[in-house]
Amino acid sequence: MSLALRNSPRLPAETRERILAIAEKLGYAPDPLLDALNAYRLAGRERRFQGVIAWLNCWHDHPGMFRTGVLAQTYKTAKTHCEANGFNLEEFALGPGGYTWQRLGTILRERGVQGVIVPPVPGGRAHLRFRWEWFSNLALGYSLARPELHRAAHDNYSNMRLLIRGVRLSGRRRIGLVMLRHEHLRTDTLRYAAYRTLLHSSEGDTEAETVPTLWVDDMERADVLGWFKEHRPEAILVHNAAAAIAQLRAGGVRVPEDVLVATCGAHEYPGIPGVIEDNDNLLRVAVEHLAAMIRRGERGLPEKPLRLVVSGEWSPGSGEFAVKPLAPARRASRPGA
């Protein structure tokens, strides 16, 4: 009966429907206290192997992206959390150089795979065809635009607000933004929206509004130096902090004395002030949600897709790049005091 109530695919559809009809007729309802007791009883036990979760690799131009590339740690962490939940995580190549979506769907189904994770895909906002109806599905981030799956992502809006407020601790008010166009799309435009909202609202500074955003396609070729000399921001927000700092210093600009550089990816650039995105927590939340979907038998495209967002943490940086809080102004002495 428990398999039917969890809508498990291990039972034939007719059997599940018959049992569910009987349960409804008898007025059955789950007991939350028993569920809590069972969760407590199993909490200290090692999860038994329950199956395989597929990790779709769509990077045909960079097939090793999740093994030796920039997303290798993401895959490794996701695999650890899958194993903690009783699943093995296996990578499958989809598209040129790999399987077609029809063939891969059939292979996964024949192997008994129940869940699919779609990690970040190439480009800004991609569309992907697959046999979604056969599996429990979840996407990481916003790079997959269609179809709309449940997704786990960094809280790009709140993280940008956190970044701006952290920079303001140093007393910098004239804040400029360097934004990669594909980054703009891959964050669902949320970083830019937060930047515009905070600097153009009652919380904002009219002086900062005069700094136009520098839109670039490639940070290595971007003219950050020329943009800085023209607009003279006191602080620059940019994801690829290393590239921006190298170009500014090559042009004789002192960082952070002349301009403070802060990043939304402080976990990638040790010492640089910015927001540290919590990848470990993000992947834990994602895997646990997908595992729960598998156990409940939720398959296919959701009617109301969920967004599970994980906030980051402000880091003032360290060493030469550290943000030094603005010293509080001294109170004026009263006459005769």
Confidence of residue 24 (pLDDT cuts 50, 70, 90): low
- CA neighbours closer than 13 Å in the CB half-sphere of residue 49: 6
Confidence of residue 334 (pLDDT cuts 50, 70, 90): very low
For the cut 60, the answer to whether the pLDDT of residue 202 exceeds it is no
Tens of pLDDT, residue by residue over 266-300, are 888 989 999 999 999 999 999 999 999 999 999 99
- Residue identified by tokens 């769509």 is 58
Tens of pLDDT, residue by residue over 300-309, are 999 999 999 9
Model confidence, pTM: 0.80
Two structure tokens written together for 279: 């990848």
Q: Classify domain 51-154+279-310 by CATH number.
A: 3.40.50.2300
Domain ranges of the chain: 2-43, 51-154+279-310, 156-276+315-321
Angle in degrees, CA 129, 134, 137, rounded to 5: 70
What is the predicted pLDDT for the residue at 331?
40
The DSSP secondary-structure symbol of 210 reads: G
d(CA 100, CA 203): 50
Tens of pLDDT, residue by residue over 242-266, are 999 999 999 999 999 999 999 998 8
Confidence of residue 63 (pLDDT cuts 50, 70, 90): confident
Confidence of residue 10 (pLDDT cuts 50, 70, 90): low
For the cut 90, the answer to whether the pLDDT of residue 315 exceeds it is yes
Q: Are 143 and 120 in contact (CB under 8 A)?
A: yes
**CATH 3.40.50.2300 matches 156-276+315-321:** yes
| Phi, psi (degrees; rounded to nearest 5) at 262 | -130, 155
